[in-house]
Amino acid sequence: MKSFIQYNEHSVQTLDPAEDDNKGLFNVQDPKSLQQLNGYVGSLADKEYLQPEAAIGQLRLRLGTVGLDFQVPSIDGDKGSAVAEVTQFGGRYGKTTDNTNAGEGDIEDGDGISHKKEGGLKLEFNWEKQANNTYKVFASLV
């Protein structure tokens, strides 16, 4: 019979998570993860919607599973585009290792992405009314 220590050593050797190169989609600073996430976002255009707001609402729910959120832009007209700023895990607020001075002005209030990915992350939307009175909505993370 194996002791717990022997069992634990065996499981660490065989199930080492460092061997798995599959990073989570929440790693938006990784180009491969961002490309996969953009494929997920791009699948929004595979359907037609009665209202473009419904498509954007579904996308907001989907992105929430990886900790991303954005303010829903206003949709006006039968055709148009909009850009929304994306935040991750509710943003980042407080003292960080980057701002360790004692002054009150050193508190960071960010989007949770800009410190990992230069310029942050934006979500671009395009919508267009079709001949059958439905909408096609296209989205992309940039």
- Cα 80 to Cα 45, 76, 123: the distances in Å are 15, 7, 14
pTM of this structure = 0.69
* Structural domains of the chain in order of their starting residue, each with its CATH number: 30-91+118-141 (3.10.450)
Task: Specify whether the CB–CB gap between 95 and 108 falls below 8 A.
Answer: yes
pLDDT digits 0-9 by tens, 51-66: 999 999 999 998 998 8
Stated as kind and residue range, the H or E segment containing 124 is strand 122-129
Tokens matching residue 122: 């934006």
How far apart are the C-alpha atoms of 39 and 56, rounded to whole Å? 16
pLDDT digits 0-9 by tens, 14-37: 544 444 455 677 778 888 888 888
Q: In this predicted structure, what is the pLDDT of residue 87?
A: 92
